[in-house]
Structure 1
Amino acid sequence: MSKRILVILGHPARDSFCAALADSYVEGAKAAGNELESIALGNLSFDPVLHNGYATIQDLEPDLVAAQAAIARAQHIVFIYPIWWGAMPALLKGFIDRVFLPGFAFKYRDDSIFWDRLLAGRSAQLLVTMDTPPWYFRWLYRMPGHNQMKRTILEFSGIKPVSISSFGPIRGSSEQQRNKWLARVHAYGRQA
């Protein structure tokens, strides 16, 4: 059974290894008969700064309106991005700040600390590159960027299950190793 999949490239550069991973995933998912949409954040035009927090919601630029519509259509969302300074790039964080808004991603209940998860019914996969060895990121740093995306953003909004695959260290990796990673991501797309 085919799925409606949205691939979000969170690396600002279109010529990055993350972009190659996104292309590989899309090829695999299309080969399996899935319906795909892609968003490359580096190609969008929007202000990534949430100037007033959630006190006053900024008008969404057309690219962000289209992104919300794509997220609403998706059954499965794939985020592909690098870990920089322990977390996602600022562009991806700004995208999330601007798009995963109250009333779209979640809604606090009146006079309560509890909330409704408005994006429930979707799953996600995080394909994350890093220059730190993944075992080191896991055991010594305790995966701050992974926990942020999985628990405090996606699951908070109702998106689950969320699977995470880490690729690294990218710096100094051989072409053979990168080809193995690309093949692995292609297989993920075929299995989506």
Structure 2
Amino acid sequence: MEKKNILLINGHPDKESFNQLITERYIETATSFDVNVRSLMLRELDFDPNLKYGYRKRMELEPDLLKALDHILWSDHLVWVHPLWWWSYPALMKGFIDRLFLPGIGFASVGDGSYKKLFSGKTARIISTGDTPEKDYEEQFKRSAFLQLKEGTLEFCGIAPVYTTYISPIYRVPKEQLDVYLQRVSAVAAEDIRMLSVK
């Protein structure tokens, strides 16, 4: 059986964040299986995150965005890691999506008001960290960042199913609890790979 390809996308701008440890743990777990793994640390990419002209005028993709697109096209499974900030994800990650998930790349109009999903056939996992209790995130926030990324972007472009994992609280949590969270990440990675193996 051909090896599956997994791409980690870390949307946190700080390389010393807990999101970085999550990304590294997922990669470490995944590489212990018979899969190919690549990663994108968005903070390391050189690109303008501002979609200056909206959709009126096309901006040329910078070399790092072209490489990122190659990684996305290569992947079978995308893993997005990001913090929950102001009910959403960081501006860096929003800019990455704005610049890259464009008409003709992620989706295309078919002329009757509907869209062709150009990333169909891929699956995804979103791992988000926050300090809001999970119950409040579901009841008050309506899982806002998950909704935005899962339904508003990934599924719209054909990536499905999209699994979600919320880890909270993070701030001022003892190392022992953070280690428990990382064990959960390992379990999630193993679960994803089992899912891919039967896809």
- Alignment TM class, shorter chain as reference: over 0.9
Q: Which runs of 5+ in 2 are unaligned?
A: 194-199
1:141 paired residue number = 141
Aligned pairs for 1:1-192 within 5 A = 2-110=3-111, 112-191=112-191, 192=193
Three-state SS of the structure 2 residue aligned to 1:31 is: coil
Are 1:27 and 1:189, in contact at CA under 8 Å, matched by a contact in 2? no
Please state how far the C-alpha of 1:189 moved relative to its aligned partner.
2.1
Three-state SS of the structure 1 residue aligned to 2:31 is: helix
- Determine the C-alpha separation between the residues in 1 that align with 2:34 and 2:135: 34
2:197 paired residue number = none
Are 1:109 and 1:116, in contact at CA under 8 Å, matched by a contact in 2? yes
Are 1:77 and 1:124, in contact at CA under 8 Å, matched by a contact in 2? yes
Cα displacement string for residues 11-34 of structure 1 (whole angstroms, at most 9, x for unaligned residues):
011110000000000000000121
- Determine the C-alpha separation between the residues in 2 that align with 1:146 and 1:187: 20
The residue type paired with residue 156 of structure 1 is: F
- Determine the C-alpha separation between the residues in 2 that align with 1:28 and 1:125: 15
Moved more, 173-182 or 23-32: 173-182
- Determine the C-alpha separation between the residues in 2 that align with 1:149 and 1:134: 17
- Determine the C-alpha separation between the residues in 2 that align with 1:174 and 1:167: 14
TM-score by length of 1: 0.97
Please state how far the C-alpha of 1:184 moved relative to its aligned partner.
1.2
Are 1:31 and 1:190, in contact at CA under 8 Å, matched by a contact in 2? no
Are 1:104 and 1:118, in contact at CA under 8 Å, matched by a contact in 2? yes
**What is the RMSD of the two structures over their aligned residues, measured on CA atoms?**
1.0
- Determine the C-alpha separation between the residues in 1 that align with 2:169 and 2:113: 40
Aligned positions, number:
191
The residue type paired with residue 123 of structure 2 is: S
- Determine the C-alpha separation between the residues in 1 that align with 2:141 and 2:8: 27
Q: Which runs of 5+ in 1 are unaligned?
A: none
Please state how far the C-alpha of 1:190 moved relative to its aligned partner.
2.8
Moved more, 53-62 or 23-32: 53-62
The residue type paired with residue 163 of structure 1 is: Y
The residue type paired with residue 83 of structure 2 is: P
TM-score by length of 2: 0.93
- Determine the C-alpha separation between the residues in 1 that align with 2:144 and 2:187: 27
Identity of aligned residues (%): 37
Please state how far the C-alpha of 1:187 moved relative to its aligned partner.
2.2
The residue type paired with residue 150 of structure 2 is: K
Are 1:48 and 1:97, in contact at CA under 8 Å, matched by a contact in 2? yes
Three-state SS of the structure 1 residue aligned to 2:108 is: strand
Three-state SS of the structure 1 residue aligned to 2:177 is: helix
- Determine the C-alpha separation between the residues in 1 that align with 2:175 and 2:92: 28
